[in-house]
């Protein structure tokens, strides 16, 4: 069975985070394996923190309050990120019944990021996997990623910066509590770069790489609404 494809941005960041989680829950509930590739793009800036992130240590709270930037918590791990216009978000729901090797988290990182790097490298040579879950162009990062594993499925999702105002990273994020060796202590603005590729081309390359050909029309609306209604603001 081909992978499903869903290009859908809901009105609020909370709804969009909820949809990623609801797609994972939907896959868990179905009797047969089903996989989905989704894209969405935020209309306004927000900070999204990981499942176990310390907001006080990872986020510049006063700047977020001053600018009215919401701080939301996602279900997956990893550190805080800033999202907004110019940042394409993707999510992959993958079946562990189809891909049992992905039960190992390191294998999941290598498999997904390797596939993305190969696809995007055809558009911008020099794309590499670095650290635990980064995609880079040269020595700079343009994509941060995280995952959530359940019994029979996982969701792997992340950011793809292509026209993002990079100065917002230092305004809204503190230095991360952990950093990969290749970062070498650089502040966000010196460490992060936009991938010089149009978002339509990014979508098409990734969609082709995952053979996501079946349009997803039965996305879990009610479950997304229910999840979005739960407290998520930090």
- List the domain boundaries for the chain: 10-210
Task: Give pLDDT, residue 233.
Answer: 73
Alpha-carbon distances, residue 201 vs 36, 41, 126, 192 (angstroms): 19, 14, 17, 20
Task: Give pLDDT, residue 234.
Answer: 74
CB 78 within 8 A of CB 131: no
CB 76 within 8 A of CB 157: yes
Which runs of E-coded beta strand occur in 16-86? 36-40, 46-49, 71-73, 81-83
Task: Give pLDDT, residue 2.
Answer: 85
pLDDT in tens, 126-180: 999 999 999 999 999 999 999 999 999 999 999 999 999 999 999 999 999 889 9
Kindly list the strands in the beta sheet with 46-49, ordered across the sheet, starting from the edge strand earlier in the chain.
71-73, 46-49, 81-83
Q: 10-residue block means of pLDDT along the chain (234 residues)?
A: 94 97 98 97 97 94 98 95 98 98 97 98 97 97 97 98 98 94 96 98 98 97 95 77
Q: How far is CA 20 from the centre of its chain?
A: 10
CB 192 within 8 A of CB 166: yes
Task: Give pLDDT, residue 40.
Answer: 98
Rounded to 5 degrees, φ, ψ at 161 are -80, 130
Q: What is the CATH number of domain 10-210?
A: 3.30.930.10
Cα 36-14-29 angle, rounded to 5 deg: 40
């Amino acid at each position: 069975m081909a992978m499903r494809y869903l290009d859908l941005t809901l009105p609020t960041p909370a709804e969009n985070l909820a949809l990623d989680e609801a797609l994972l829950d939907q896959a868990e509930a179905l009797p047969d394996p089903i996989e989905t590739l989704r894209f969405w793009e935020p209309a306004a800036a927000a900070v999204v923190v990981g499942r176990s992130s310390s907001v006080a240590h990872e986020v510049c709270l006063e700047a977020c309050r001053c600018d009215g930037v919401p701080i939301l918590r996602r279900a997956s791990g990893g550190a805080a990120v800033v999202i907004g216009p110019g940042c394409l978000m993707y999510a992959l729901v993958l079946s562990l019944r189809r891909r049992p090797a992905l039960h190992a988290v390191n294998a999941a990182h290598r498999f997904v990021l390797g596939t993305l790097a190969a696809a995007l490298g055809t558009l911008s040579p020099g794309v590499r996997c670095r650290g635990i879950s980064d995609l880079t162009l040269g020595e700079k990062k343009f994509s941060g990623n995280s995952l959530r594993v359940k019994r029979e499925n996982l969701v792997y999702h992340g950011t793809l910066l292509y026209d993002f105002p990079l100065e917002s990273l230092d305004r809204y994020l503190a230095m991360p509590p952990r950093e990969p060796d290749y970062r070498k202590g650089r502040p966000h603005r010196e460490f992060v770069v936009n991938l010089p590729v149009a978002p339509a081309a990014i979508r098409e390359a990734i969609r082709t790489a995952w053979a996501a050909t079946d349009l997803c029309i039965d996305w879990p609306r009610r479950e997304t609404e229910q999840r979005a209604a739960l407290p998520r603001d930090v």
